[in-house]
Homo-oligomer: A and B are copies of this chain.
Amino acid sequence: MHTPLATVPIELGDRSYPIQIGAGLLGDAATYRDLPSGRWGVIVTNQTVAPLYAERLVQALSARYARVLTVALPDGEVHKDWDTLNLIFDRLLEEGCDRKTVLFALGGGVIGDMTGFAAACYMRGVPFVQVPTTLLAQVDSSVGGKTAINHPRGKNMIGAFYQPLLVVADLDTLDTLPERELSAGLAEVIKYGPIADPEFLDWIEANLPALRARDKAALTHAVRRSCEIKAWVVGQDERESGLRAILNFGHTFGHAIEAGLGYGEWLHGEAVGCGMVMAAALSARLGLVPPAFVERLSRIVDAAGLPVAGPRQLSAAQYLDLMRVDKKSEAGEIRFVVIEALGRAGMRAAPDDVVAEVIEAHTAR
């Protein structure tokens, strides 16, 4: 199939770009026909994804680039660091790649974040394309231009806002995605309901079985609607000064879980799934939403195959310490994304003891 099932335009002035969503796009040379040509096209991927898709992408890109290189990084969030990023720079410099080199991020969110940051920094900026091969990356990192690596003291602490030229969301790549990662991606899909679109939450609730069975029509709608909502939010606040923070619903608690257990123990989407239940519970505890909403969201998160209770190893005090160094905190005050009404989110501070109660109530003991 040669035409995308859907295209979501991301409008950011001279940094605008399209997201193409469909099956069979990755290996089709026509997908890349509007990209600038150059001498080098460099595919950055990981050792898990490379055997599955790298050769197909190399073939498709060979029409536009005299040299197509592949850099396969070790797989996993634990490698989202400077040393691994430097493997990209080393290769680009060894090959003499110039400023017109186009980088292609072939993989999940870690590959997208690292390749985007490498593109932002290499010779002070070269163009890049996202080819996300996980549901999480297709619905989340494909919009927003956030790129980063981790620091031992915090996730995504070193990075840049840097937009791709094009995003290619090939739904066929989801066929090889492990079940656990598909569920992790669904966490970010679910997120868009409570913060922006009650009808979408109804649709997700009804279509979770089809999504988990990887039905292409259901996936197309989920990816398109997620990207549209994120694009609408990001279009109003590209550099995360205000509104955009609502996209972090569930992420403040989630990041604490990821950091507290050590990155890679829980998948990002798993931590966000559980984090959304905690954030919903905090919203209810602050009198913003009825307790029934917490129960409903918890059921949906559970039905997506995600954890709804935090890990027993982490105490509420540990969460609070970890959340205080989160990028979203200001002068040590933690700012939580709360649901103010179904379909509308906002930012609030909350007393430590209330937050601790919420964490305790949603932790496996």
Q: Are the C-beta atoms of B93 and A154 separated by less than 8 Å? A: yes
B residues less than 8 Å from A327 (CB atoms): 98-99, 123-124
B residues less than 8 Å from A123 (CB atoms): 157, 159, 327
Q: Does A331 contact B (CB under 8 A)?
A: yes
Q: Does A89 contact B (CB under 8 A)?
A: yes
Pick from B122, B157, B161: contact of A158, CB below 8 A: B122
Pick from B96, B160, B329: contact of A124, CB below 8 A: B160
Q: Are the C-beta atoms of A124 and B148 separated by less than 8 Å? A: yes
Q: Are the C-beta atoms of B148 and A94 separated by less than 8 Å? A: no
For the complex, give the distance between the alpha carbons of A239 and B99 in Å.
Answer: 12
Kindly report which residue of chain B lies nearest to residue A38, judged by CB atoms. Answer: B331
Pick from B90, B125, B156, B324: contact of A160, CB below 8 A: B125
Q: Does A62 contact B (CB under 8 A)?
A: no
Min CB–CB distance A220 → chain B (angstroms): 31
Contact A86 to B93, CB < 8 A, known contacts A124-B161, A160-B160:
no
Q: Are the C-beta atoms of A158 and B121 separated by less than 8 Å? A: yes
Number of this chain's copies in the complex:
2
Pick from B93, B146, B329: contact of A153, CB below 8 A: B93
Consensus secondary structure, chain A interface: mixed
B residues less than 8 Å from A82 (CB atoms): 82, 86
Q: Does A332 contact B (CB under 8 A)?
A: yes
B residues less than 8 Å from A120 (CB atoms): 160
Q: Are the C-beta atoms of A329 and B125 separated by less than 8 Å? A: no
Q: Are the C-beta atoms of B89 and A331 separated by less than 8 Å? A: no
B residues less than 8 Å from A93 (CB atoms): 151, 153-154, 157, 325
1/0 contact string of A67-105 vs chain B (CB within 8 Å)? 000000000000000100010011001101011100000
1/0 contact string of A328-342 vs chain B (CB within 8 Å)? 011110000000000
Sample (25) of A-B pairs whose CB atoms are under 8 Å apart: A39-B331, A82-B82, A89-B151, A89-B157, A90-B153, A93-B151, A93-B154, A93-B157, A93-B325, A96-B325, A96-B332, A98-B329, A98-B330, A98-B332, A99-B327, A99-B330, A100-B330, A120-B160, A121-B159, A122-B157, A122-B158, A124-B148, A124-B240, A125-B160, A125-B239
Tell me the A residues contacting B by CB distance below 8 Å. 39, 82, 86, 89-90, 93-94, 96, 98-100, 120-125, 146-148, 151, 153-154, 156-161, 239-240, 324-325, 327, 329-332
